[in-house]
Structure 1
Amino acid sequence: MTADLRPSPISATVDFDAPGVQHGFLRLPYSRDDAAWGSVMIPVAVVANGTGPTALLTGANHGDEYEGPIALFELARSLRPEEVTGRVIILPAMNQPAFAAGTRTSPIDRGNLNRSFPGRHDGTVTEKIADYFQRVLLPRADVVLDFHSGGRTLDFLPFCAAHVLPDKAQEARAFDLVRAFGAPFSVKMLEIDAVGMYDTAAEAMGKVFVTTELGGGGTASARTTGIAMRGCRNLLIAAGILRGEAEPQPTQWLDMPDGDCFTFAEDGGLIRFCADLGERVEKGQTIALIYPVARTGSDPTVLTARRSGLFTARHFPGLVKPGDCVAVIADEVEG
C-alpha cells in the first residue's frame, strides 16, 4: 500500500526545528456559518536547545479533562531553553474544539480524537487533527506523554500508566518513565477499546508512550494538578531532556490483567456505590446497586466484583445507562 504523501491542511506558525522558545498555533481551516474563512487554532509551544531527544506533551485529547491542560499551559509559560537538552513540544489543548466546549468529543463532528487515528488529511476536523499528529508530530517524538483524567463521567485513583507491549525493550523504557513520573499509583494498563487510539499509533512507531488518569468528575483538584505538574517535570528529567533534580514519590503498582477488571451496567438507573475508591474488594462482593427510576417499589440490580483487588475507578454521575463502565478493579503488584 502506497503511503499518502498529500500534505495536511494544518499549518504551524512555529518552526519545530528552530532553537529557543516559540509560542504559536496549528491552524486548521474550517469554514462555518459564523466564519466563512475561519480556522481551528490549536495552541502549541516549542522549547528547544542543542541536540537531544524530543518529548511530545499533550493534554485535552478529551476536552473535559483538565489536569493536563493546567500542567502544560504552566510548563509552556515557564520553561526556558537553558533548562532543556533536546526539544519539548507542548500542546495543552490537543483537541481544541472539544476543550473549548468542555466536552469529551468534538462539538463540530462528534469525533473522539482518541479513537480517530491514523486520521485522514481529507476527513472530518477530528480526523485531520489526528492525521497531523500521525504524520507530522509523532515522527518527531522520542517520548510521548498524553495526560488524561476521568472527565465528566469517570473518577480515578490518580495514576500514571503504560501498556504491556510485544517489544519488551520499548515496554521497559515506558515503565521506567511511569516510575519516574511518581503518581500515587502506577498501572500496567489494559485497554478495553484500543482501536484508533493515539497510544496505539505512537507505540506502533516505536515511541515511548506514557499516559495518566488523574481524578475526574470534569474538574481538577489542587492535589491532582500538583501530581500532573510534578510528574511531568520528573518524566522530562528521567528522559534526559530537562535539567534539574527530580522529586521522587512513592507509588503503588497496579495491574489490569484481563476483562474481569471491568464491571459494566446492563440496566440503567440511579447508582449507589457500596465501596469507595482505594478500598480493597473481594470477588463476589456487592460494589454497587442500580435502582430503576421509573417507579417506586422495584428492587435494585446488584453489581458484584468479578475479581478481588483495589477499587480503582468508578462511574461519576449518579445516573447510569446500559453499557456504562461503572467500576474498575485492579491487582496490587510489585513494581
Structure 2
Amino acid sequence: MRHNPITATIDFDRDGVQHGFLRLPYSRNDSAWGAVMIPISQYKNGQGPTALLSGGNHGDEYEGPTALFDFCTRTDLDSINGRIIVVPAMNYPAFQAGTRVSPIDSLNLNRIFPGRPDGSVTEVIADYFSRYLVPMADYVLDIHSGGKTLDFVPFAASHILDDKDQQQRCEAAAKAFNAPYRLQMLEIDAAGLYDTLVEACGKVFVTTELGGGGTSSPESIRIAKQGVDNFLIHAGILDAEPHPSEIESTSLDMPDFRSFLFCEHAGLVEPCVTLGDTVAEGQLMARIHSVDRTSITPIEYRAPRGGMVIARHVPSLIQVGDCLNVIGEIV
C-alpha cells in the first residue's frame, strides 16, 4: 500500500513533552508548496499504556478542541505513566472553517474511515489515523458535541460489540469519564465511522456528545476537561484523583431505531418538549409549521417510544430527512 504523505514533526518514541504538527502536503492557489499543519502534542514518561485523545472530528464541535488545547498547556510529566497523544482538531481544515465537513473536499471525516493514502485531504487524514496513530493506542477518546444542527444532553458513550470483553472495557471507560449521562449508543449507520475503525482494532474506545448548537458553555467545557482526566486516570496513565460528578450519572440505552424521530416535512419547528424531559410513547414532541403560506395546519410529531429526550434539532428551521429528536431509555 502507498505510504501516507503526512509527516509528524514529533518523535513518538521519545520521552518528554513535545508539541508539533502532522504536516500534510497540500498544493493550492495561495501556496504552491503548502501544507495542512494539524497541531499534535505528546506526553511520554517511561513504560505504560498509550491514550489517543482527539477533538474536532467535525469542525463545528468545540468542547473537544477547547479541552484538549487547554490540556496541551500542561508541563508536568511526573504524574504520567505511559504516553498521551493529543490531536485537538483532527479535521483541522473543517475546524478552521467552523464547518462540520472539510471546506477543501466537502468530505465528512467521520464517515470515510479507514481512508486512503492517495485520496483527498480528508481521506489522507483518516488513513494516517487508521494506519499510524490508532495502532499505537490502547485507549482512544474522541470528543464530540452536536455541532450547528443538534443539541444533546451531555453523555459519554460506548457501543454494543461482538467481543463482550472489549465491550465491557469500553463501558467501564465511558462510566469513568463521569459525564452526567452514560449511553449505550446506537448509530444510524456505523460504516466509515472512526468509532467502528477503532473498535475493530480491539481498542478501548469512548465517544461523547457534550452539548451542541455550534457553541460551548462553561458547563460543557468543565465536563470535557474533567472527563479527559478521568479517562486517563481510568487507563492508568494519569496519577491523580478522579473528578467527582456533582450528580449521579444516569445510564441510558438506545435499544432500536425507534429512538430516532426523523422529520418528513420542511418548515419551522415548534418544540413541545426539551432536553432531559421524560416522554411517553405517542406524546407530542413537536409541531412543524409550513413557512410557504399562512393558514396551513401544523404537522404533529409524536414520540415513537417512551424515555428521555437526549437530542434535539437546532436551529428552528428544519428540512425533510433531518433528525428532529432522539429518545433514550433510562436503564
Instruction: Report the TM range for the smaller structure's normalisation.
Output: over 0.9
Tell me, in whole angstroms, the C-alpha distance in 2 between the residues paired with 1:248 and 1:7: 44
Once the two structures are TM-superposed, the CA of residue 259 in structure 1 deviates from its matched residue by: 0.3
Residues 297-308 of structure 1 correspond to what in structure 2 (within 5 A)? 297-308=295-306
Residues 255-294 of structure 1 correspond to what in structure 2 (within 5 A)? 255-294=253-292
Tell me, in whole angstroms, the C-alpha distance in 2 between the residues paired with 1:136 and 1:251: 34
Could you list the runs of 4 or more consecutive aligned residues of structure 1 that deviate by over 6 angstroms after TM superposition?
none
Give the aligned partner of residue 8 of structure 1.
4
TM-score w.r.t. the length of structure 2 is 0.98
Tell me, in whole angstroms, the C-alpha distance in 1 between the residues paired with 2:253 and 2:75: 34
Q: Unaligned 5+ residue runs, structure 1?
A: none
Residues 1-335 of structure 1 correspond to what in structure 2 (within 5 A)? 4=1, 6-249=2-245, 250-333=248-331
Contact between 1:234 and 1:248, CA under 8 Å: does it hold in 2?
no
What is the one-letter code of the residue matched to 2:315? P
Q: Unaligned 5+ residue runs, structure 2?
A: none
Which string of whole-angstrom CA distances, capped at 9 and with x for unpartnered residues, describes residues 202-242 of structure 1? 00000111010001000010000000000110110011000
Tell me, in whole angstroms, the C-alpha distance in 2 between the residues paired with 1:268 and 1:79: 51
Tell me, in whole angstroms, the C-alpha distance in 2 between the residues paired with 1:79 and 1:326: 44
Tell me, in whole angstroms, the C-alpha distance in 2 between the residues paired with 1:311 and 1:302: 17
Once the two structures are TM-superposed, the CA of residue 76 in structure 1 deviates from its matched residue by: 1.0
Tell me, in whole angstroms, the C-alpha distance in 2 between the residues paired with 1:119 and 1:79: 34
Q: Give the 3-state SS of the residue equivalent to 2:78 in structure 1.
A: helix
Q: Give the 3-state SS of the residue equivalent to 1:109 in structure 2.
A: coil
TM-score w.r.t. the length of structure 1 is 0.97
Once the two structures are TM-superposed, the CA of residue 134 in structure 1 deviates from its matched residue by: 0.4
Q: Give the 3-state SS of the residue equivalent to 1:78 in structure 2.
A: coil
Identity of aligned residues (%): 58
Tell me, in whole angstroms, the C-alpha distance in 1 between the residues paired with 2:15 and 2:161: 34
Which string of whole-angstrom CA distances, capped at 9 and with x for unpartnered residues, describes residues 156-190 of structure 1? 00000011111011011111111111100000011
Once the two structures are TM-superposed, the CA of residue 99 in structure 1 deviates from its matched residue by: 0.1
Once the two structures are TM-superposed, the CA of residue 91 in structure 1 deviates from its matched residue by: 0.3
Q: Give the 3-state SS of the residue equivalent to 1:199 in structure 2.
A: helix
Once the two structures are TM-superposed, the CA of residue 79 in structure 1 deviates from its matched residue by: 4.8
What is the one-letter code of the residue matched to 2:252? L
Which string of whole-angstrom CA distances, capped at 9 and with x for unpartnered residues, describes residues 54-96 of structure 1? 0000000000000000110111111522121000000001100
Tell me, in whole angstroms, the C-alpha distance in 1 between the residues paired with 2:328 and 2:236: 31
Aligned residues: 329
Q: Give the 3-state SS of the residue equivalent to 1:32 in structure 2.
A: coil
Q: Give the 3-state SS of the residue equivalent to 2:294 in structure 1.
A: coil
Once the two structures are TM-superposed, the CA of residue 248 in structure 1 deviates from its matched residue by: 2.9
Contact between 1:47 and 1:80, CA under 8 Å: does it hold in 2?
no
Contact between 1:254 and 1:332, CA under 8 Å: does it hold in 2?
yes
Q: Check 1:282–1:256 CA distance in 2 against 1; reply closer, same or farther (3 A cut).
A: same
> What is the root-mean-square deviation in Å for CA atoms of aligned residues?
0.7
What is the one-letter code of the residue matched to 2:308? L
